[in-house]
């Protein structure tokens, strides 16, 4: 608890500009040694080991997952961490591919569907959607990106452990929120990102 409070106070100080120094047009923040992983031979492996020690042995411990997470600054970094963690798990990979199409909305009524090839749509990456190819293994943790059923605790940010795979559905166990331990099924669904950086609408299935 003391370490968490110390870290929280440090984050607040960074946000308030209390511990930064100006270097030209940028701000420089000194990070304390206790927050650093100093090994450099394989930094990603050491990061995962630091946050998730004995990962495979503790995956059935819900509190173990509730108290740990890795935050990354970019989607590219998220993908690197995800791909590395997948190599730790045993079992066969299960791959799910999305079917992306343009979505006819009022603000893009002049958009012609043929302008956007499937490859172009499949390569779009944004924080509101999974990648075109979703690769999973039994036992891996996933997080919902949409509200599905609040009564079952299936809300944006809910963590689950995958345990079953179907053609259009994924079976999982809830490991956060008030419904810890519930077995649920996540179906394939239509998602329409609201990313303001896109000049058109498309739907992910």
pLDDT band at 73 (very low <50, low <70, confident <90, very high): confident
Question: Has residue 126 got a pLDDT over 90?
Answer: no
Higher pLDDT, 112 or 189: 189
In a domain, residue 81? The reply is no
pLDDT at res. 103: 62
- Domain of residue 100, residue span: 87-204
Residue 142 belongs to some domain of the structure:
yes
Q: Closest Cα partner for 72 from 127, 35, 26, 27?
A: 127
Answer whether residue 36 is part of any domain: no
Please say if the pLDDT value at position 197 is more than 70: no
Residue 198 domain-assigned? Answer: yes
Q: Is residue 67 part of a domain?
A: no
Angle at 48 between CA 43 and CA 52, to 5 degrees: 155
- Looking at the 3D structure of the chain, how many domains does it have? 1
| Mean pLDDT calculated for residue range 107-122 | 64
Q: Please indicate, yes or no, if residue 154 is contained in any of the structural domains.
A: yes
The pLDDT of residue 63 is 84
Whether 105 shows a pLDDT value over 80: the answer reads: no
Mean pLDDT, rounded, of the chain: 81
Q: Is residue 29 part of a domain?
A: no
Categorize the per-residue pLDDT at 107 as very low, low, confident or very high, splitting at 50, 70 and 90: low
Radius of gyration of the chain (CA): 20
Task: Please check the confidence at residue 5 and state whether its pLDDT lies above 70.
Answer: yes
Question: Quick check: is 59 in a domain?
Answer: no
């Amino acid at each position: 608890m003391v370490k968490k409070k110390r870290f929280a106070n440090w984050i607040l100080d960074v946000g308030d500009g209390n511990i930064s120094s100006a270097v030209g047009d940028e701000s420089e923040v000194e990070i304390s040694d206790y927050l650093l992983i100093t090994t450099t031979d394989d930094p990603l492996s050491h990061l995962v080991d630091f946050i998730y020690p004995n990962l495979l042995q503790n995956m059935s411990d819900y509190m173990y997952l509730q108290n740990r997470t890795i935050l990354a600054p970019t989607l590219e970094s998220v993908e690197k961490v995800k791909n590395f963690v997948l190599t730790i798990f045993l079992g066969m990979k299960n791959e799910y591919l999305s079917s992306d199409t343009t979505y006819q909305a009022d603000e893009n009524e002049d958009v012609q569907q043929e302008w956007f090839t499937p490859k172009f749509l499949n390569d779009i990456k944004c924080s509101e959607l999974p990648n075109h190819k979703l690769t999973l293994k039994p036992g891996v943790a996933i997080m919902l990106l949409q509200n599905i059923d609040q009564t079952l605790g299936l809300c944006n940010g809910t963590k689950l452990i995958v345990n079953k795979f179907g053609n259009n559905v994924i079976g999982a166990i809830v490991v956060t929120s008030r419904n810890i331990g519930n077995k649920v099924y996540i179906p394939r669904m239509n998602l329409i990102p609201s990313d303001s950086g896109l000049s058109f609408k498309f739907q992910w299935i």
